[in-house]
């Protein structure tokens, strides 16, 4: 029996509304990513009457999981007989009323002062991908009251595009990436970020720009073997650079073990309390909380952790290009460019060691002594 015309019309209207909402919320997330200095927005989802602050990562994880589950239902409903518009509409209403705004609310609740700016931007980007892929799937819901034809159902859609099953798979992957980010938290994200600078490298003939410190060791060892006549003293520069590069590799490994795997909880306790006070519009309690933080050096240092990590991220973002420039300078055998690239490259690595020299509580520890030795060695090398 053909679906009821009114139910079909209602479904089409609901799909249009949902897609318009998804477009609007993608713009919200894009604005968050493009305006890092903007203050956190009020959340799309209404906060509960509880005084507990919103857990941004739990909300992101739960919302992405629900979107994945509901999208799976939609995907099955549009390829299996009988096609029932009212059932599809019910699933869409659940999506629009809960997990979709919840996903955006999680990004809005991810305050950079508590979670770091770079982490919030990553969460916003991953959530934006979820919304984009969900919109793509919703646009495949049939309007004629019939399930999708085989050519639009599988992995190859009309005109060579994705079919609905392939589209669902891409959406699953996007949701899984949000869940993985939320489960790993800020600590896991930065540990992975340190690991992205490879200690065991690509071969030098791949590309200069892909060179991390480990890759550059291979590049320079190969270049050193090719230096025969050396009027510009390239070989001593190579040897000095290789010694420093090996030290930088050790630094990255030590940072991952001694700092990234020992990060405190996020957001810092002082930030959580401050957000709680803001949600209650209780300025007196907020002022008292700030005074308490000023009197508690450990809490004050904890509040600095997100800023330190953002500074670290900015340095790490520069380093691959620095290493690439150094590799190019050695390939071209240009002494002045080599000296300039070496200075810049190892000054940045030195700055990383300075930034993370003290523990997250602001105190000296075993790693502090290690970084001081590293700094002496890299100057001497």
Q: How confident is the model at residue 368 (pLDDT cuts 50, 70, 90)?
A: very high
Q: Is there a single domain that holds both residue 178 and residue 233?
A: no
Kindly report the number of other CB atoms within 10 A of residue 130's CB atom. 29
- If asked whether residues 119 and 238 sit together in one domain, one would say no
Stated as kind and residue range, the H or E segment containing 214 is helix 213-226
Residue 278 has pLDDT above 60, yes or no: no
Model confidence at 277: pLDDT above 70: no
Q: How confident is the model at residue 289 (pLDDT cuts 50, 70, 90)?
A: very low
In the predicted model, is pLDDT for residue 43 greater than 50? no
pLDDT at 85 over 90: yes
User: Do 106 and 220 fall into the same domain?
Assistant: no
Q: Are residues 244 and 119 in the same domain?
A: no
CA neighbor of 88 nearest in space, from 98, 101, 100, 78:
78
Do 15 and 132 fall into the same domain? Answer: yes
User: Looking at residues 285-301, what average pLDDT do you find?
Assistant: 54
Give the end of a domain, one of 183, 207, 225: 183
Within a domain: 268: yes
245 pLDDT exceeds 50?
A: yes
Residue-wise pLDDT for 73-83, tens only, equals 999 999 998 99
Each residue's pLDDT tens digit, 154-207: 555 555 567 889 999 999 999 999 999 999 999 999 988 887 654 433 433 444
> 18 lies in which domain range?
5-183
Averaged pLDDT for residues 109-137: 96
Asked whether 336 and 143 are in contact (CB, 8 A), the reply is no
Cα distance between residue 193 and residue 256, in whole Å: 9
Q: Do residues 159 and 221 both lie within one domain?
A: no
The pLDDT-based confidence of 317 (bands split at 50, 70, 90) is confident
Co-location of 236 and 157 in the same domain:
no
Which residues have a Cβ under 8 Å from the Cβ of 264 and sit 6 or more positions away? 302, 305, 360
Q: pLDDT > 90: what percent of the chain? A: 49
Within this chain, do residues 63 and 89 fall inside the same structural domain, yes or no?
A: yes
More confident residue, 200 or 298: 298
Looking at per-residue confidence, does 86 or 226 come out higher? 86
pLDDT at 214: 55
pLDDT score of 234: 86
Residue 195 confidence (pLDDT): 73
pLDDT per residue as tens digits for the range 130-158? 999 999 999 999 988 888 887 666 555 55
Report the C-alpha gap between 273 and 47 in whole angstroms. 16
Buried b / exposed e across 243-272, counting CB within 10 Å, b at 16+? ebbbbbbebbebbbebbbeebbebbbbbbb
210 pLDDT above the threshold of 50: no
Tell me: pLDDT of 264 over 60.
yes
Q: Answer with the one of 119, 151, 183 that is the final residue of a domain.
A: 183
pLDDT at site 208: 41
**pLDDT attached to residue 35:** 84
Q: Which two tokens stand for residue 280?
A: 């209650």
Provide the Cα torsion 127, 128, 131, 133; round to 10°.
-110
- Could you tell me the CATH number of the domain that includes residue 120? 1.20.1420.10
Q: What confidence score (pLDDT) does residue 255 get? A: 92
- Is 188 inside a domain boundary? no
CA gap 155, 371 in Å, rounded: 52
Mean pLDDT of the chain: 82
Give the separation between CA 306 and CA 203, rounded to whole angstroms: 35
Question: Does residue 293 sit in the same domain as residue 235?
Answer: yes
Please determine, for residue 41, whether its predicted confidence score (pLDDT) is greater than 60. no
- Which of 149, 183, 217 finishes a domain? 183
Confidence class of residue 46 from pLDDT cuts 50, 70 and 90? very low
227 and 179, same domain (yes or no): no
HSE at residue 378, side-chain half, CA atoms within 13 A, is 27
> Which pLDDT tens digit goes with each residue over 330-363?
888 888 999 999 999 899 999 999 999 999 999 9
Per-residue pLDDT reduced to its tens digit, 51-69? 567 899 999 999 999 999 9
* Predicted confidence band of residue 230 (pLDDT cuts 50, 70, 90): low
For the cut 80, the answer to whether the pLDDT of residue 11 exceeds it is: yes
Same domain, 223 and 334: yes
Quote the CA–CA distance of 293 and 283 in Å, as a whole number.
Answer: 15
Does the residue 190 lie in any domain?
Answer: no
Mean pLDDT of 201-228: 50
Model-wide pTM > 0.85: no
């Amino acid at each position: 029996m053909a679906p009821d015309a009114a139910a079909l019309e209602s479904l089409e209207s609901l799909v249009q509304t949902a897609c318009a909402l998804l477009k609007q919320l993608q713009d919200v997330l894009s604005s968050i990513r493009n305006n890092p200095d903007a203050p956190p927005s009020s959340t799309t989802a209404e906060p509960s009457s509880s005084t507990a602050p919103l857990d941004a990562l739990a909300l992101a994880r739960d919302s992405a999981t629900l979107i994945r589950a509901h999208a799976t239902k939609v995907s099955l409903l549009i390829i299996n007989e009988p096609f029932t518009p009212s059932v599809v509409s019910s699933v869409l209403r659940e999506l629009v009323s809960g997990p979709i705004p919840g996903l955006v609310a999680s990004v809005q609740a991810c305050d950079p002062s508590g979670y770091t700016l770079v982490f919030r931007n990553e969460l916003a980007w991953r959530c934006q991908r979820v919304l984009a892929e969900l919109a793509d799937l919703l646009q495949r819901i049939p309007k004629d009251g019939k399930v999708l034809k085989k050519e639009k159902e599988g992995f190859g859609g009309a005109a060579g595009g994705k079919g609905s099953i392939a589209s669902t798979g891409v959406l699953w992957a996007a949701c899984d990436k949000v869940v993985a980010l939320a489960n790993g938290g800020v600590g896991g994200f930065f540990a992975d970020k340190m690991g992205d600078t490879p200690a065991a490298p690509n071969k030098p003939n791949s590309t200069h720009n892909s060179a991390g410190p480990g890759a550059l060791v291979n590049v320079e060892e190969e270049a050193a073997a090719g230096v025969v006549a050396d009027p510009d003293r390239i070989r001593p520069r190579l040897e000095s650079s290789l010694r420093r590069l090996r030290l930088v590799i050790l630094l990255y490994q030590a940072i991952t073990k001694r700092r990234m795997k020992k990060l405190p909880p996020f957001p810092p306790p002082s930030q959580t309390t401050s957000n709680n006070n803001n949600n209650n519009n209780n300025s007196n309690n907020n002022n008292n909380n700030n005074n308490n933080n000023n009197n508690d050096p450990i809490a004050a240092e904890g509040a600095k952790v997100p800023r330190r990590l953002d500074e670290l991220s900015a340095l790490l973002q520069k380093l691959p290009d620095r290493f690439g420039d150094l590799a190019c300078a050695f390939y071209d055998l240009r002494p002045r460019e080599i000296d300039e690239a070496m200075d810049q490259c190892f000054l940045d690595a030195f700055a990383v060691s300075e930034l993370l020299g003290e523990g997250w509580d602001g105190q000296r520890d075993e790693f502090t002594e290690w970084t001081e030795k590293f700094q002496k060695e890299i100057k001497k090398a």
